[in-house]
Amino acid sequence: MEVEIQEIKQLLKELVLSQKETDNKFKETDSKFKETDSRFKETDIKFKETDKRIKAAFDLFEGQWGKLMESLVEGDLIKLLQAKGINVHDTSMRRKGIYEGNNYEFDIIAHNGTEIVIVEVKTTLKTQDVKAFVQKLKQVRVWLDEYKKLYGVWRNCFPES
């Protein structure tokens, strides 16, 4: 029985040592998890910064690309409209305004004092853009009441084949 008690004591000592080792390993693992979590947070911050930079670059590109497309459309617009029997002689680009708190903007306006042709230029044709353009055309007589005759033109720069 004495031997059994000694064996049990030895086993208990080994168990205590093993538990201490396990506790130390858990503490190390916990520390590594915290370190990893901290790195993930740093990486997430860097991703967010990169996303902001990419969005800013894309917005700049998209804005410049849109202005280029508008300039290309505007180039021969008067000749094209005159060939269709619309006697306009002047264009305005990116006309903006506010009427009763509502903002409006038109890409290109061709006019002659009484007639106005409003041209919306898009590089990608989306249904919601067409609907928004139609809604804007409904308001033009209020926003730009100096013109008596109105035409609306949609120009998709890259139509799908």
Strands annotated E in 15-132: 90-99, 102-111, 115-122
Q: Of the spans 1-5, 18-22, 136-140, 146-150, which averages the highest pLDDT?
A: 18-22
Q: What is the CATH number of domain 77-156?
A: 3.40.1350.10
Strands annotated E in 5-140: 90-99, 102-111, 115-122
Binning pLDDT at 50, 70 and 90, where does residue 154 land?
A: low
pLDDT given at position 132: 85
- Give percent of the chain above pLDDT 90: 1
Over range 67-82, report the average pLDDT.
85
Binning pLDDT at 50, 70 and 90, where does residue 156 land?
A: low
pLDDT in tens, 95-113: 888 888 888 888 888 888 7
CA angle 72, 73, 76 (to 5 degrees): 95
Please give the Cα distance from 24 to 30 (Å, whole number): 10
Q: What is the mean pLDDT of the chain?
A: 82
Q: CB 62: neighbour CB atoms within 10 A?
A: 11
Check whether 161 has a pLDDT greater than 50. no
pLDDT given at position 159: 55
pLDDT given at position 155: 57
pLDDT in tens, 28-51: 888 888 888 888 889 889 889 988
**Sequence ranges of the domains in the chain:** 1-75, 77-156
Over range 111-125, report the average pLDDT.
82
pLDDT given at position 50: 87
